Structure 1
Amino acid sequence: MLELTNVEVYYGGIHALQGISIEVPDGKIVSLIGANGAGKSTTLNSIVGLVKPQAGSIAWNGKELTALGTKRIVSEGVVLVPEGRRIFPNLTTWENITLGAYHRSDKAGIERDRDMVYELFPRLKERSKQNAGTLSGGEQQMLAVARGLMSRPKLFMLDEPSLGLAPLIIKDIFDTIRKINAEGTTVLLVEQNARAALKIADSAYVMETGRITLSGTGKELLADTRIKEAYLGGVK
């Protein structure tokens, strides 16, 4: 289980995270929704060590992460697919995927996992020799997810995976997230597409200006009139 307890983050004079507490149980999908600037990406960056909290605790299966570097956190099985994909455009699809296993030395396991992500994303196999910068937006997002999976995550965090994608591609991405979770990987999902994020969530949190303002199951929040008015296009 991942547990954030009273986490505080400042950027200069900006109080980006104001004592947030979140639980991500093993084997579940937890969604974090909210408007731009609410602190969602800062939360993920804090978990993976890219941002250091000024106060509070971030514990993964009882181990405190705040004192660890990002490489060590990834080796513990905590992996982030960042917003904007951050692929390497001048490297091939194959090279990008292989870079996801940079901290691993088990060659046979890497080969098996590469086959696994190609099975999950057949289009990437078809484009394995193609430079990643020439892929479509949806294919680049698939590549970012595939690269993350090569790290063998126990906790897989995705930051805005649907951003800028067509509806059919969004459906494919969310179907893939379900499959990854069904195979035993815990998922923490940050999304502005609140409807899609809540539909697949076991539990969810709403974040506003650095605070958690609502929490519940995905179904509960989908039915909440406050969520409908703020994030789902009004009460229906």
Structure 2
Amino acid sequence: MLKVEQLSAHYGGIHALQGIELDVPDGAIVSLIGANGAGKSTTLKSIVGLVKPSRGTVTWNGEVLTGLPTKDIVSRGVCLVPEGRHVFPNLTVDENLTLGAYSRSDKPGIAADREKVFGLFPRLKERVSQKAGTLSGGEQQMLAVGRALMTRPRLLMMDEPSLGLAPLIVKMIFDIVKAINAEGVTVLLVEQNAKAALEIADYGYVLETGRITFHGPGKELLKDDRVRHAYLGEAHA
């Protein structure tokens, strides 16, 4: 289980997180929703060590991650698919996937995981020798997820995976998230598409200006008037 306790962080001179607490149980999909600037991305970056918290702790299956270098956090099975994909544009699809497995030395396992990625994303196999910078936005998102899977994560964190994508691709990405989770990978999902994020979530948290304001099972949050009004564009009943 991932446990975040009293986490505070400053980002770009802003008090971005103000003592947030959340739990991500093993095997679950947990969604974190909120408006732009609420602190969602900072939360994920703090968990993986890209932002240094000013207070609080992050533990993963009982081990404190706070203060560890990012590469050590990744080696423990915690991986982030960043907002904006951030693939290596001048490297091929295959080279991007290979870099995802940089910390591994089990060649048979790496080869098997590459084939698993191609099974999830057949389009990547078709473009295996193509430079990542020439892929469409949807294909780059597939590659970013595939690269993360090459780390063999136990916890996969995804930051706005649907951002800027066509509705058909968005549906496919969320179907893939469910498929990854069905294979035993725990998922922490940050999304502005609150409806899609909560529909697949076992549990959800709402983050507003650096604070968790309410939380509950995903299906219950979908019915909550506060969520419907603020994030689903629906009027109060």
Match of 2:99 in 1: 99
Alignment of 1:120-159 (within 5 A): 120-159=120-159
- Aligned residue for 1:4, secondary structure, equals strand
The letter of the residue matching 1:125 is K
- Aligned residue for 1:30, secondary structure, equals strand
Deviations 1:5-63 (A, max 9, x none): 00011236421100000000000000000000000000000000001111111000000
- Aligned residue for 1:128, secondary structure, equals coil
- Return the alpha-carbon distance in structure 2 between the equivalents of residues 106 and 40 of structure 1: 34
The letter of the residue matching 2:9 is V
Alignment of 1:17-56 (within 5 A): 17-56=17-56
- Return the alpha-carbon distance in structure 2 between the equivalents of residues 161 and 13 of structure 1: 26
The TM-score normalised by the length of structure 1 is 0.98
- Return the alpha-carbon distance in structure 1 between the equivalents of residues 212 and 192 of structure 2: 15
**Aligned 8 A contact 2:11 2:51 in 1:** no
- Return the alpha-carbon distance in structure 2 between the equivalents of residues 10 and 122 of structure 1: 40
Match of 1:15 in 2: 15
**Aligned 8 A contact 2:11 2:42 in 1:** no
- Return the alpha-carbon distance in structure 2 between the equivalents of residues 219 and 12 of structure 1: 34
Whether 2:201 is the aligned partner of 1:201: answer yes
Cα shift at 1:67 = 2.0
Whether 2:174 is the aligned partner of 1:174: answer yes
Deviations 1:135-160 (A, max 9, x none): 11100000000000000000000000
Cα shift at 1:182 = 0.3
Count of aligned positions: 236
Match of 2:109 in 1: 109
Match of 2:83 in 1: 83
- Return the alpha-carbon distance in structure 1 between the equivalents of residues 54 and 35 of structure 2: 23
- Return the alpha-carbon distance in structure 2 between the equivalents of residues 65 and 29 of structure 1: 20
- Return the alpha-carbon distance in structure 2 between the equivalents of residues 104 and 159 of structure 1: 24
The letter of the residue matching 2:78 is V
The letter of the residue matching 1:181 is N
**Aligned 8 A contact 2:10 2:53 in 1:** yes
- Return the alpha-carbon distance in structure 1 between the equivalents of residues 140 and 12 of structure 2: 33
Deviations 1:169-207 (A, max 9, x none): 000000000000000000000000000000000000000
**Aligned 8 A contact 2:17 2:43 in 1:** yes
The letter of the residue matching 1:33 is I
- Aligned residue for 1:10, secondary structure, equals strand
Cα shift at 1:233 = 1.1
The letter of the residue matching 1:18 is Q
Runs of 5+ unmatched residues, structure 2: none
The TM-score normalised by the length of structure 2 is 0.98
The letter of the residue matching 2:94 is W
- Return the alpha-carbon distance in structure 1 between the equivalents of residues 12 and 26 of structure 2: 34
**Aligned 8 A contact 2:92 2:131 in 1:** yes
Match of 1:72 in 2: 72
Match of 2:219 in 1: 219
The letter of the residue matching 2:167 is P
Runs of 5+ unmatched residues, structure 1: none
**Aligned 8 A contact 2:29 2:189 in 1:** yes
Q: Percent identity?
A: 70
